[in-house]
Amino acid sequence: MSATYSGKVALVTGGAAGIGRATALAFAGEGLQVVVSDLDVVGGEGTVELIRAAGGEAIFVRCDVSRDEQVVALMATIKEQYGRLDYAFNNAGIEIEKGKLNEGSEAEFDAIMGVNVKGVWLCMKHELPLLLAQGGGVIVNTASVAGLGAAPKMSIYSASKHAVIGLTKSAAIEYAKKKIRVNAICPAVIDTDMFRRAYEADPKKGEFAAAMHPVGRIGKVEEVAAAVLYLCSDAAAFTTGQALAIDGGVTAM
C-alpha cells in the first residue's frame, strides 16, 4: 500500500468497464476506498465485486452525470459514507457519432455534449466543495487525442473533448492556490469493449487503428490507469492544467 494513498477516497465515474474499471481497480490496489459510478448497474457492481474479491473497499452509486440532481446525490453519498473525497476521475463519456459534420443530428449533439461536457462540468462543480472543505485534492478528467486536434467524422465528439480540456485548464488556474490540481488525460485508441464492438465486424479497420500509432499497437486500459494514478500522486505535485496524451506517439507526428 502506498503511503500517498493510504486512507483516502477516490471517485471514478464511468467505472463499469474499460478505462474506468481499470482505474478503479488500480486505485483500490493502492489501498484507496473507491466509489464506482456509472449508469450501467451490472457493470458498475461488477467492478465493485472485483475490488472486494481482491481485498479492497468499494461501493457503487448509479449516476447519470448529465443530471444535476443525480450528481448532487452522488456527492452526498460520498460525504455520508466516507466524509471526504481526495481524488475524482471524471471518466464517464459517450462516443456515438460516425458521420461528417453535416450528417450529424441535434439529438447526437445534445447527447454527446450532455455527457462529455455538461457531465464533467457538473461533476467538477460538485466535487470542488468537498475538496475545498478538506484543503485540497486532485481531479483528473478524461479527454482524448480528439481534443488535441481534428477528428474527421467525429466533429461533435472532438469538440466535446476540446471543451473538457478547456474546463480542465480553467479550473486548474482557478483553484491552484487552494491546493487542488486539475489535469486531463488524452488517450488515443485503447483496447476497450467499445473498441472491440466497433471493429469486430471489420478486423482490417482494427489493424489500421493499431498501425496508426507509431508504437505499432493500440493502448491498454492499465496503461491509462497508471497515468491517472501518477497524476493523482505526490509525484505529480507540480503538475496542473495539463492535457496528457497517452497515445503511442500519435500526436508527435
Contact at 8 Å (CB) between 194 and 218? no
Query: Residues 11, 17, 22, 25: is their CA dihedral positive or negative?
Result: positive
User: Which residues are identified as catalytic?
Assistant: 157
Q: Is the pLDDT score of 207 beyond 90? A: no
Break the chain down into helix, strand, coil percent, rounded to 5.
50, 15, 30
Q: Look at the domain 9-190+220-243 and name its fold.
A: Rossmann fold (3.40.50)
* Phi, psi torsion values for 134, nearest 5 degrees: -105, 10
Which helix H or strand E contains 108, and what residues bound it?
Answer: helix 106-113
Distance CA 187, CA 185 (A): 6
Q: Is the pLDDT score of 206 beyond 60? A: yes
Contact at 8 Å (CB) between 12 and 91? yes
Query: What is the model's pLDDT at position 74?
Result: 98
Query: What is the model's pLDDT at position 174?
Result: 98
Query: What is the model's pLDDT at position 59?
Result: 98
Mean pLDDT of the region 80-109: 94
Query: What is the model's pLDDT at position 71?
Result: 98
Mean pLDDT of the region 215-243: 97
* Phi, psi torsion values for 180, nearest 5 degrees: -115, 120
Query: What is the model's pLDDT at position 41?
Result: 98
Each residue's pLDDT tens digit, 22-50:
999 999 999 999 999 999 999 999 999 99
Q: Domain ranges in the chain?
A: 9-190+220-243
Query: What is the model's pLDDT at position 200?
Result: 67
Axis-axis angle for helices 41-53, 18-29 (nearest 10) = 30
**Residue with the larger pLDDT of the pair 203 and 131:** 131
DSSP state of 179: T
Each residue's pLDDT tens digit, 120-179:
999 999 999 999 999 999 999 999 999 999 999 999 999 999 999 999 999 999 999 999
